[in-house]
Amino acid sequence: MKSKDYTEIYVHIPFCARKCDYCDFVSFAGCKDKFDAYFAALKDQIGKTYETVGKLPIVSCFFGGGTPSVPDASYITDILALLKSKFEFLPGAEISIEVNPNSANLSKLSEYKKAGFNRLSIGLQSANNNELKALSRLHTFEEFLLTFNNAKKAGFENINIDLMSAIPLQTIDSYKETLNKVLLLKPTHISSYSLILEEGTPFYERYKDAPPVGEDEDREMYYLTKEMLKNAGYNRYEISNYAKEGYECKHNLGYWRRIPYLGFGIAAASLYKNTRFQMHSDLDRFINKDYSSDTIILTKKDSMEEFMFLGLRCTDGVSKKEFFQEFNEDLNEYYKDEISKLKKQELLKEEGDRFFLTDKGLDVANYCMSEFIK
Amino acid sequence: MDQKHIRNFCIIAHIDHGKSTLADRIIEMTGLLTSREMQEQVLDNMDLERERGITIKAQTVRTVYKAKNGEEYIFNLIDTPGHVDFNYEVSRALAACDGAILVVDAAQGIEAQTLANVYLALDHDLDVFPVINKIDLPSADPEKVINEIEDVIGIEAQDAPLISAKNGINIDQVLEAIVEKVPAPEGDANAPLQALIFDSLYDSYKGVIAFVRIKNGTVKKGVPIKMMATGATAEVVEVGYFGAGQFIPCEELSAGMVGYITASIKNVRDTAVGDTITELNNPCTEPLPGYKKVQSMVYCGVYPADGAKYPDLKDALEKLQLNDASLFYEPETSIALGFGFRCGFLGLLHLEIIQERLEREYNLDLVTTAPSVIYKVHKTNGEVIELTNPSNLPDPSEIDYMEEPIVNAEIMVSKDYVGSIMELCQQRRGRYVSMEYMEATRALIKYELPLNEIIYDFFDALKSRSRGYASFDYELKGYEQSQMVKLDILINREEVDALSFIVHKDSAYERGRRMCEKLKDEIPRHLFEIPIQAAVGGKVIARETVKAMRKDVLAKCYGGDISRKKKLLEKQKEGKKRMRQVGNVEIPQSAFMSVLKLDEE
């Protein structure tokens, strides 16, 4: 079976206990009175989608947010059960859920496990309590430790820990300490993102003129992550993602390899039959069963561009053979000028069948990727 | 109609003192036009003129007025351009008149430009009578303004009509005053033809339409004519006079009349403003006095932002020139900007107007280089070059000395700002000539200033230092020897020709430093460090550095963000496309423009 014959599923849970000041994802604090209606609409959307697409083979499923661990576990496990009844989950399918330390206790985590989740992603961000406070996070490092141990107790082997660099109050040393503390726990996967000041967030207003951490330090933290995690046996397989061998997040890799995916819930995106869908972000409209999306039908040119700028997020880059199989075009020929320019600047490297960004290229990935937009 | 019943006149006023509004009222009250037919302002035709509230091209209108004595008079109202850049056009329009209405704002009083135009009118032996406008403003002080007019200009003003053009108050008094105070023309209809061209425009059906005042003689269809200065000849196709916004053909134009002549002339250059039209077979002995060849004062490079639009720019300039003989252009090339044109203008306003018209009416995105005046470069071999493009400056070793144009400038300002205005003039290498108080609170300051110091941002600086109250007028005085140097800008050690300019050696350091600072903000970071240097004669006098870009990455990217991410990359790519490549540095268009307006203060 070719990889494009699989499908992935993403479910968006737009609820949080509190909205973090740096976050620009679609989520709402509180809103408990809307849980019932939202999950009912989700079920309705899943049913209707199934009627259109049929019993697709599913290779991965991801519950993201927001904070999926905020509503009671039964809301979540009901949705997963419904998905499993409608679609064909392949053996070994990766089923992930994002949780936050103070909203996921042992019983909740156990229910997730029982329902079939086999991967957890815990939002820690920092092991320094002052930094957590500056991020407006609601938990401490100690509370995270409890959650992590509970996750183990509940039977989760495959756990990702989310970290952030270049955040307020952070220094190279405090970041190093965060990494060290996290490494002691030996998670299978670590994501470390450097802070992005997203327009419209309180952080943007607060820091747009003077970012909390300078660019040189920001880069130093990035290199430090790569080096320390490499020494601890983690491989950087994507711009901000590190994993022990075999534990790369299948779901995320699917995005970069343009595997079709169905998104459920507000603001969720889908890629299906060469069309990208983007659901609206209006909670009430969704509850009223309005599932309309913006759609973009991808031309061959669009798809080739996506192939490049998504594929190059992965450290192993893109395959010339796959490019040819998909588009019947010679990658070296089609992007001749762009390739030669980036190679000359030592941002892109060619090895055997593959093109990939160098470390320097990954630092300025946007610059490199924009070259492939014709 | 005999000449006794013709009145040829114009209105002179400072910007915003109400010239166009008064013109509208006169046209309205003389009855040829109902209020509904009036455009917002009949005389200011171009959108640009309406927006800026100034007249760029002279407009003319003929109306009929039935006076209180029961007789009908023909009024030819010749509108004059309202800016110092168009001084010569003003002088020719004035020469077509016999009298002038001086409009003075009852609150603001006399301004520098009012004075300049009044003197110009008096020079042309026009009878000038004042009207005081905006008397309904709370701050109006007509008595004070009347005294000011008498003291400063020395013309009788006690019986000046006190009007509000906006609200139509006392306009009848103005109409009667026109009949009484503007003398009737006195020409000889049987003498050989002498017609003064005071404006012309190009019409795609009729060809050139020459606006004329017949001084002597008569002209009608079929007569072969000759333009005395340009030597062009043609046969008259049509004569007529000016309705409001339209041309009305008539049998003939005779001495004293104002009207138009068409003769299938293809080029406005053949009907130069100020030239005399005579009959080819029965010429007059002398042309009318005062003809001058129009000369560009300010030059700059004009380039299409998108190099592929070069033919469009060429086309647009050709079309604009059909109607604007004072616009000069010739092709030039720049290493940084590609193919474009070196254009010559009457002044900075003219430059701005042309630029705006190119962008607005022809939908072009432009990059213009720093404006320059004409320098006279005396070479050691005795040759003299008139330099309009800094890039063409010969090697310093071949230059004996250079001369730059100097203007006589008059600035009128209330006394509170005299100090800061004088300071500005000193900074701009001005030479103090005199200062006189027009009245207790207002002063007329005279300076000799190098033209290249005022074509930049002098007017802006003047306004900001006087809270908008200073008025300014200048005329070319002549050339003077001066220590000029060429300032070059090097980006990543490569000279960017489009950024070079000529500057006085004492200002070179300051200008260079500010240019570098400005460019530093304009040039995006690259993968490598970019030095920006200002150099004179190969010696670096200022430097800034654009630090290398170390990070340009979306660290977190969720699958749903792909459309958004694509948009971001597209924008980035689009930005790259609009850049100008100099060496391996990409320079945005805006960088070329930003250095034109280096902040004052």
Q: Answer whether B570 sits within 8 Å of A263, measured CB to CB.
A: no
Cβ neighbours around A354 below 10 Å, total: 16
User: Does B344 or A3 have the greater pLDDT score?
Assistant: B344
Burial per residue of B125-134, b for 16 or more beta-carbon CB atoms within 10 angstroms, e otherwise: ebebbbbbbb
Say yes or no for a CB contact (<8 Å) between A216 and B550: yes
What pLDDT is recorded for position B244? 65
Residue B110 has pLDDT above 80, yes or no: yes
Instruction: Write out the two tokens for A219.
Output: 């880069």
At B82, the pLDDT band (50, 70, 90 cuts) reads: low
Helix intervals (H) in B244-347: 310-323
Question: Which pLDDT value is given to residue B458?
Answer: 84
Model confidence at B502, pLDDT cuts 50, 70, 90, reads very high
Buried b (16+ CB within 10 A) or exposed e, B340-351: bbbbbbbbbbbb
CB pairs under 8 A between A and B: 94
Q: Do A366 and B569 touch (CB under 8 A)?
A: yes
Q: Is the pLDDT of residue B363 over 50?
A: yes
Give residue A4's pLDDT. Answer: 60
- Which residues of chain B have a CB within 8 Å of the CB of A364? 527, 549-553
Q: Is ipTM over 0.85?
A: yes
Q: Which residues of B touch A (CB under 8 A)?
A: 527, 549-563, 565-566, 568-570, 572-573, 576
Compute the distance between CA of residue B512 and CA of residue A154 in angstroms, rounded to an integer: 69
C-alpha angle B442-B446-B450 in degrees, rounded to nearest 5: 140
| For residue B574, pLDDT beyond 80 | yes
Chain B residues lying within 8 Å of A255, measured CB to CB: 558-559, 562
**In three state form, how does the secondary structure of A122-169 look?**
EEEECCCHHHHHHCCCCCCHHHHHHHHHHHHHCCCCEEEEEEEECCCC
Q: Which amino acid, one-letter code, is at A187?
A: P
Three-state SS for B262?
strand
Helix, strand, or coil (residue B586):
strand
Name the pLDDT band for B12 (thresholds 50, 70, 90).
confident
How many CA atoms are closer than 13 Å to the CA of B414, on its beta-carbon side? 10
Mean pLDDT of chain A: 95
| Chain B residues touching residue A296 (CB < 8 angstroms) | 563
Long-range contacts formed by B430-436: CB under 8 A, 24+ apart: B433/B408
Share of chain B above pLDDT 70, in %: 92
Top residue of A255, A370, A374 to mutate, by most chain B CBs within 10 Å, is: A370
List the single residue in B560, B572, B573 with the smallest CB-CB distance to A267. Answer: B560
B252-292 pLDDT per residue, tens: 999 999 999 999 888 888 888 889 999 999 999 999 987 77
Three-state SS string over B511-571 comes to HHHHHHHHHHHHCCCCCCCEEEEEEECCEEEEEEEECCCCCCCCCCCCHHHHHHHHHHHHH
To test the contact with chain A by mutation, choose from B557, B561, B572, B574 the residue with the greatest count of A C-beta atoms within 10 A, namely: B557
Q: What's CA B453's distance to the chain center, in Å? A: 17
pLDDT digits (tens, 9 = 90+) for A284-296: 999 999 999 999 9
For A365, name the nearest residue in chain B, comparing CA atoms only. Answer: B553
pLDDT classification of B560: cutoffs 50, 70, 90 = low
Query: Which residue of B lies nearest to A162 if distances are taken between CA atoms?
Result: B556
Burial of A175 (0-12, 13-18, 19+ CB in 10 A): buried
CA distance B242 to B259: 6
Q: How far apart are the CA of B545 and the nearest CA of chain A, in angstroms?
A: 16
Nearest-angstrom CA–CA distance, B455 and B347: 7
**Strand ranges, E, within B397-553:** 399-414, 431-439, 442-450, 471-482, 484-491, 494-495, 501-504, 530-536, 539-546
CB contact under 8 A, B555 and A347: no
pTM: 0.69
Which of A240, A269, A370 minimises the CB distance to B559? A269
Helix (H, G, I), strand (E, B) or coil at A280: coil
Enumerate the residues of chain B whose CB falls inside 8 A of the CB of residue A225. none
Range scoring the smallest mean pLDDT among B114-123, B501-510, B529-538? B114-123
Rounded (5°) CA angle A27-A28-A30: 145
Residues on chain B touching A219 (C-beta within 8 angstroms): 550-551
Q: What is the mean pLDDT of residues A204-222?
A: 91
Q: Do A345 and B563 touch (CB under 8 A)?
A: no
